[in-house]
Amino acid sequence: MRLLLDTVALIFAVESPERFTKRATAILQNTENILELSAISLSEIAIKAARGKLKFSAADTRRALEDLDLRVLPYTANHAFSLFDLPVLHADPFDRQIIAQALSEEIPVMTCDEKFSLYKGLKVLW
């Protein structure tokens, strides 16, 4: 299964894996799954780290990508155009872009953020 990790899922995987559900842990550990992280998440981590809201360096992020065997999913114009049709059920601009990307790619998102479940057609795993 191909799936997209939300930024918080990546951070939990590195800093507090005990916060994962048994289901989420099993999904992460299943080597048959294709795990992806949005390029948007990389931007979110960098911006929040620069503002002092997150203690996660570029080296930490690169190591996490490698350790979790994550592919980076580029953010395309098609993903951005999906935002025009996305209802405003969640105010966070990073999350809205990740949601639009997952819907465009037709892949589930791994997140503990309950607001993701408000979007019709989006499969949320946790």
Q: Encode pLDDT of 4-43 as tens digits.
A: 999 999 999 999 999 999 999 999 999 999 999 999 999 9
Q: Which residues contact residue 114 at a Cβ distance below 8 angstroms, ignoring those fewer than 6 apart?
A: none
Predicted confidence at residue 53, as pLDDT, reads: 94
Tokens 């005990």 belong to which residue?
A: 18
**The total number of structural domains that make up the chain:** 1
Predicted confidence at residue 18, as pLDDT, reads: 93
User: Helix or strand or coil: residue 2?
Assistant: strand
Domain with 77 in it: what CATH number? Answer: 3.40.50.1010
Tokens 């999906």 belong to which residue?
A: 82
For 111, the domain range is: 2-125
Nearest to 4 by CA among 113, 84, 90, 92: 113
